[in-house]
Each structure stands twice: as C-alpha cells, then as structure tokens.
Amino acid sequence: MARCPYLDFESWGPFSSQEEYRCKLCGKTLTEQEVKYKCKVDYGDAYEQCPVYKDR
C-alpha cells in the first residue's frame, strides 16, 4: 500500500476511539475519504499528485 510519508496517524483515548490523520506538510486534519483516495491508497502513488506534496 502506498502511503504519503508526510501523513501522521494520531490516536488517543482509553479505547483508541478518537483517531485522526494529519498532514505534516500543511497541518490539516484529514477525513477518512481524503486519506483513502489521496494519501494512503491500495495501489499507485496518488499522493504524489497532491499539490501540497508537489510544492514541498
């Protein structure tokens, strides 16, 4: 699975019920859909098409 190297996964809480993904380049919290289709896809390197990643 291709994964953007600037993607952070954070989990806290007693049962890890609070989880979020954060982009280390732009500082935004990402939704599951954004992560699934751009930052961490099943094939290819889609994250390389991200404008934030390209401009790093």
- Per-residue confidence (pLDDT) for residue 15, from 0 to 100: 63
**The total number of structural domains that make up the chain:** 1
Give the pLDDT score at 22: 92
pLDDT in tens, 1-56: 688 999 998 776 666 556 789 999 999 998 888 888 888 888 888 899 999 998 88
In the structure encoding, which two tokens stand for residue 15, read together?
A: 């049962």
- pLDDT at position 8, please? 92
Confidence (pLDDT) at 16: 55
Q: Provide the residue range defining the domain that includes 17.
A: 2-54
